[in-house]
Amino acid sequence: MKILETVHDMKLYRQKMTSTVGFIPTMGALHRGHLSLIAKAKQECDGIITSIFVNPTQFNDPKDLAKYPRPLERDLTMARQVGVDVVFLPTAKEMYVDEYRFQIRENQLSKMLCGAHRPGHFEGVLTVVMKLLMITTPDRAYFGEKDYQQFLLIREMAQAFFLPTEIIGLPTVREASGLAMSSRNVRLSKQQRTVAPMLFHELKSGKTPLEIKHNLESAGFTIEYLEEHFGRRFAAVFLGDVRLIDNV
């Protein structure tokens, strides 16, 4: 497995990959959700690139960025075990040579749900994903549907800018309890882990949003939003200082 740290080296190596390439961008702290994306990519592509980059521009809260898990050696071991060919491991300085003067902005979908509560979040997401797609030029890129709003925005961005990459979304991978797999789950306490699966079970119940909100708040959740769009029910909540999102 190659580990490449500069845009120059990544582009150079990409030129040598002549067959179908699949790309899985991540912020590290890999879990079974990420591994399901890699497995699907391996089914459909000959070469697999994964990036690990905790993107600072998508964090509206500096404390959240500081606390984000970064188990790099574990991530690299997992990537090697599942057959990733290349891990792109850039620094923020490498990715933002312009010091983030240039940004990708979307004016409708990005203003609701997570975008309404995290100013600048999707500008950071779309900008870094555009950069990564331009650097790795994959045939297909894979994203989980836990971040369904993000998936829609990236897919529509690729279409709007006529990118050659096919953007593929895959169903949310869950723990046995129903809790959606997330890198943030490692920050949940033992007690919070027993409560957290309630989010999924309430969302998929036939209860009204008002009933769900009441039940979640009674269990100790703080509701950021609970809304229905695109035939789905979306929620973002806090357990302590850990933010969880899900949709069904």
Q: Which residues are catalytic?
A: 34
Tokens of 136: 């790795």
CA distance 137 to 15: 10
- Residue 183: CB atoms within 10 A of its CB come to 20
What's the Cα-to-Cα distance from 103 to each of 95, 130, 151, 152, 213, rounded to whole Å?
12, 10, 18, 18, 35
Distance of CA 245 to the CA centre of its chain: 11
Tokens of 201: 């079970």
- Residue 85: CB atoms within 10 A of its CB come to 18
Residue appearing with tokens 């969880």: 244
Confirm if 188 and 242 have CB atoms less than 8 A apart.
yes
Q: What are phi and psi of 93, to 5 degrees?
A: -65, -35
166-170 β-sheet, strand order: 2-4, 86-88, 47-52, 21-26, 140-144, 166-170
In the chain, what is the greatest distance between 2 CA atoms, to the nearest angstrom? 56
CA distance 248 to 241: 23
With H, G, I as helix, E, B as strand and everything else as coil, classify residue 95.
Answer: helix
